[in-house]
Amino acid sequence: MKPLMKTSTLVAALSLVIGVSADVSFNSAMAAEVEGPKLNWNLSTWGKRRAFTEGLEALSAHVKEKTDGNFDIKIHYGGALSKPRENLDGISLGAFEMASFCASYHPDKNRAATVLELPMLPVANGEVQKAIDLAVYGHPYTQKEMARWNARILMSAALPQYEFMGKGEPPRKLEDFSGMRVRALGGIGEAMKVLGAVPTTVTAPETYQAIESGTVDAAAFAFYSHFSYRINEVSTWRTTNLAPGSVNCPAVVNIDAYDSLPDQYKALMDDAVDVAYVALNEAYGAAIDKYTPVADAAGMEKITYTQEELDKFRETAAAPVWDAWVEKQTAAGVPAQELLDLVLKTAAEASQ
pLDDT at position 217: 98
Helix (H) or strand (E) holding 42: strand 39-44
CATH number of 32-102+150-158+254-282: 3.40.190.170
pLDDT at position 314: 86
Domain with CATH 3.40.190.170 in the chain: 32-102+150-158+254-282
Per-residue pLDDT of the chain (352 residues; tens, 9 = 90+): 333 333 333 333 333 333 333 333 333 345 689 999 999 999 999 999 999 999 999 999 999 999 999 999 999 999 999 999 999 999 999 999 999 999 999 999 999 999 999 998 989 888 999 999 999 999 999 999 999 999 999 999 999 889 999 999 999 999 999 999 999 988 899 999 999 999 998 888 999 999 999 999 999 999 989 999 999 999 999 999 998 999 999 999 999 999 999 999 999 999 999 999 999 999 999 999 999 999 999 999 999 999 999 998 988 888 899 999 999 999 999 999 999 999 999 999 999 8
DSSP 3-state assignment of 252? strand
**Strand partners for 300:** none
pLDDT at position 29: 45
Give the DSSP letter string of 144-201.
HHHHTTTEEEEEE--PPPEEEEE-SS--SSGGGGTT-EEE--HHHHHHHHHTT-EEE-
pLDDT at position 73: 98
Give residue-wise pLDDT tens across range 176-227.
999 999 999 888 999 999 999 999 988 889 999 999 999 999 999 999 899 9
